[in-house]
Structure 1
Amino acid sequence: MRTGGTTTSGEALDPGTRRMLLRFAPMIYGPTLLFGLGEGALLPLLPVIASSLGADVAQAALIASIIVIARLIGNIPAGWLVARIGERRSMAIAGALALFGGIGVLLSPTVALLGVSVFGIGLCASAFGLARHAFMTTRVPLRYRARALSVLGGSFRLGMFAGPFAAAALVAAAGTETSAVWFFIASLVALVILVLVGRDPEDELRAEGSLPGSGSTPARAAGSGTTHRAAPDGVFRTMWAHRGVLFRLGTSTAALSGLRQARVYLLPIWGVSLGLNAETIALVVGITGALEFALFYSSGQIMDRWGRLWASMPSMILMGGAFLGLAFTHDLSNAMSWFIAAAIVVGVGNGLSSGILMTLGADVAPPGNPAPFLGSWRTLTDAGAAAAPLLIAGVTAAVSLPVATAVIGVAGLAGAVGFAVFVPRYVPHHR
């Protein structure tokens, strides 16, 4: 085992975290940033584009949500695809097809064809995300896994954060929302080039004995990645074989994903219910986003040094507790102060969760052929994200917004209990 800056006999020389992360920049982090930039620029303008084609408000909202639905649907077939043609080819094909989806958005004459193009982009986003997840699972040495995947999550967050600003600048300069679509297309062209020409770090890692599954490294624990591929199993067979971990640990990760998505809806809605103006709400949400981005690498450090539980549980407790507490403050005289405090705590909690879903998925994925399992894993997490807004809307309509907020908070705390029980059970070497 590695202790501090030294290594014991038989373990490869530690090349350093910085060097390890830089190796994945050309093929993984760069393309991920580009995809996030392009998607972040495109998504806010989809309702505007739909409206320009004659869509009403409900149809415009549907067009914007199609990409989330497509991601959810696309995970399982993406697992099948990656298992058969490999991660690199899958990333390149997904990027190229998403590029054609962008051209479809640009040229769509009707709302229906726009919806088809957006759905295709969502499917490609699912395949690209799963392929890069499987790529990292099979290539990153175990002792760097959480940090590497946290940086992966941070790269996408940076892109999604900066993308809308790029879109705003382009629209202001060009005077048309199609400039953001062109930016999306250009980002995908650069992405495909990087994926195809970027050097796969596998050769260097194997030469150093740091590659997962290489003969000069200790035997990998069950659930870790390896580049020695087994014969691909069917996606549904894999799902059934690993139904225990998917149902138990996967349910907790779905709760975390739901909590993340809930914050996107709950915080602005809560601000509106307090009568705050748009500038104040945007500022509070912006501060939350800044905290989330600032802490993304800390999550990986915590998981690699002290274990997965020390990031997952505090994250769920902070976010769940913040939402539960916020539910009791709506009618207080200092409700705005409580709103700001809760938003800050949620931002810290979400920042500490960066990379957790991907890291735990990589930890429990079957060795040699993680893609089919990761397809099911990502379907669960995306289902949690998709269910959260529906739950908020339903409970708010039936009872009230504070009750909906409390329900989300309780779900988060229940997820924390699930992590406490099942992370030590299924990821014992990371307690």
Structure 2
Amino acid sequence: MKKRRIVILGGGESGVGTALLAMAKDFDVFVSDKGKIKEKYKNVLINNAIEWEDEKHSEDKILNADIIMKSPGIPDKAPLVKQIREKGITIVSEIEFASKFTNATLVAITGSNGKTTTATLAHHILQQELDVGLAGNIGDSFAKQILENDFENYVLEISSFQLDDIVDFKPKIAVITNITPDHLDRYDYNFDNYIASKFRVTMNQTKDDYLIYDADDEVIVNYLKNNPVQATLLPFSLVKAIENGAYLDKENNIKITIDNTHIIMPTNNLTLEGKHNIKNAMAASTVAHLLKIRKQTIRESLENFQGVEHRLENVLKINKVQYINDSKATNVNATYFALESMSSPTVWIVGGVDKGNNYEELFQFVNEKVKAIICLGADNEKLMSTFGNMVDVIVETQFMGEAVKIAYKMAETGDSVLLSPACASFDLFENYEDRGRQFKDAVRKL
């Protein structure tokens, strides 16, 4: 019998993970990357005798596939992807392909912001009592973990790009943290397309599955009104009492109710600060409650969770000035939460690749809290014209080291220096992690 041929577009973490799993499941595997494949991934492919190419796409080797796994970074508009679709070859994401080879309970977390923190926190709680992996947009690829560990449960952080290429993927528990305009460049600048993409996380769910979502998010609530889903709904809210789900009561306790069982958790000992993190804690705790984790374990886990690198991460205090790394804020809404949580005058480092940003929702915080702005991008024109009249000092630079030195000169005792770019990082940095690490290095060199 002829082996099924899978072609994998993109030789990064998800691509190489998929190649290894497909090889183990007796597929004929070929990996093709238009860019350069990193050495560490090349070595894995070579050591496992998997055929690959980089810096080109050979159409004759790609268009004869039975199935194609494309990296989430490759847009549907790419000419090669159009050709593949015209030929009627099925395109799937790593999440879709890998989920076929596990019977694990899947928790899928998506949203414009908060998904990394929520996924990491949910995993942190669950691993106290369950056999659980953390994958998706985080850490080792889902496919590779299924091959090497096959955990009984997985928490998956999933982007809209990964959801665009699912067919049968069906999580037991889905979480939508929030939906705000992001990545609109990939969705024809149509917010409705992006919203629909996020809701694909629940499209195969039945009434025996759960959808946990932010009931304070008008976009989510309106979508559910007009597009009813099959899953059992468990909303969470900071402002209204919820019968089935989670809410914040008058005493600042999180109350979770599922099938008439209750948990009450005080928020005064949460290690994570800010209203948005109470929401992330609600979502993660609801997941844990559904999976029968003991109340005591949930409480203790919330109180000892250390947070996520590059997400409002306190780096150092120098001359009584706190330096904060929020490089993971790649959109306006994430920066909104960062500025909202600032309690001291702030020198704000912002900028990068603008994804069609509307900065209006930041104006109130900029007026209240920001004393100076440093624009760090290849093109800062929009930022300069948007914020130029709001602060006394606004400067621009293309170098992280220089941005941090300027901030050091501007900041006074009791101030904060916040890197919260509200933009993607690809103009000056490899990714948001690289940007965050360069910021931390520059701060440590002061």
TM class by shorter-chain length?
under 0.3
TM-score relative to the length of structure 2:
0.26
Specify the structure having the higher radius of gyration (Cα).
2
